Structure 1
Amino acid sequence: MPNSPIQRALENDFVVVTGTGAARRLLTVELHSEDKEKPVGQVCQLGASWGSSIYISFLLELRSSYFVIMIVFDASTLILIAKADLLDLFLTSINVPVAIPREVEKECCSSKKALDAIIIQKALDESRIEVFTLRNRRLVAKLRTDFSLGRGEAEAIALGLDENAQIVGIDDKNGIDACKVLGIAFTTAVGTLIRSREKGLLEKPDAIAKLALLAKYGRYKHSIIEDARLKLEAKP
């Protein structure tokens, strides 16, 4: 809805989504930088109301005194692009840091014999992906409660907020909804594939083959896969 309260809020300097319900909780959480020398000046207020539905009131100051160009991944997207043999291509084609929180590392690499886990672990061993330990545990807990997120998804979004990341890669539905509400730029494994094709990094047959792998391993609607197929085939 182009004129919804959420859309109007996202077009301004602040994200404000309000709701009403039987009970309301409000928590103020300071977002800390890993580098104490960097002033953050960013505070978010998280509130949630419970009734027959969950309503969320979130105020996030988008302006801060520094901006970090970083891409943060959730396990869902990282595992999918590894399964589709896209990870090495992606890491080679970008010139910005890629980061994951500690919980995402555990989720991705717990199965030592899985090929995707081996691929991701190799990228970690080569320092192509950096692992962060979240210190703002209250923010992680609040995100989990307000958006019904798993620990990995909540840590990825919290890391994106904490580090002012450029974009978050996430395929979890609740995680995507959280990014939309919070005004966080995000992409998915399919989006990463499409962008790789648009940049000329993949020929059409290879891109279509990788899309088939994403369709096999991901929980994508048929319409999403078909739309992606059209975009991949549209580029000469």
Structure 2
Amino acid sequence: MLEVFICNFPEHAFVPEKVIEEVLIKGSPETLQVAALIDSGSIRVRTVDDRKLIQKLMSDFTIDPGEAEAIALALKKKGAVVATDDRNAIRACKLLKIDFITAL
């Protein structure tokens, strides 16, 4: 399902390093699929340098580093959409007026 979504998305999917770290290093059911999408260029990994913003997002919304980095990327990239199933990240997106998609 992830591959169908990513491949049909009108632009490139940008994913923060922390999310990739969580998926690839810690492991998840999607690990092999995500690795293949990165190798094919369908997913582009981005570094988020604004540590203050990430810490503020984590503190203000009680979210993990991966969600905070995704929201930070969206704040810096006009028209970005955050994909998340985290309720607090969804709340943050709503309050910050960031478009999001979720399976919830």
| TM-score for the superposition, normalised by structure 1 | 0.42
Q: What's the CA shift for 1:88?
A: 1.7
Q: What's the CA shift for 1:115?
A: 4.3
Residue number among 151, 169, 178 corresponding to 2:65 in the alignment? 151
Q: What's the CA shift for 1:164?
A: 2.1
Percentage of identical aligned residues = 35
Query: Is this contact kept in 1: 2:7–2:42, CA < 8 A?
Result: no
CA distance in 2, matches of 1:117, 1:111: 9
- Give the corresponding residue for 1:177: 91
Q: What's the CA shift for 1:111?
A: 4.3
Q: Indicate the structure with greater strand content.
A: 1
Structure 1 residues 122-170: Cα deviation after superposition (integer angstroms, max 9, x where no partner): 1011111000001111111111111111111101100110122431111
Structure 1 residues 47-94: Cα deviation after superposition (integer angstroms, max 9, x where no partner): xxxxxxxxxxxxxxxxxxxxxxxxxxxxxxxxxxxxxxx112112222
Q: Indicate the structure with greater helix content.
A: 2
CA distance in 1, matches of 2:81, 2:21: 21
Bigger-Rg structure (1/2):
1
1:108 aligns with 2:23: yes
Unpaired runs of 5+ residues, structure 2, are none
RMSD across aligned positions (CA): 1.5
Residue number among 125, 130, 139 corresponding to 2:44 in the alignment? 130
CA distance in 1, matches of 2:96, 2:6: 26
| TM-score for the superposition, normalised by structure 2 | 0.91
- Give the corresponding residue for 1:98: 13
1:89 aligns with 2:8: no
Q: Which amino acid aligns with 2:92?
A: A
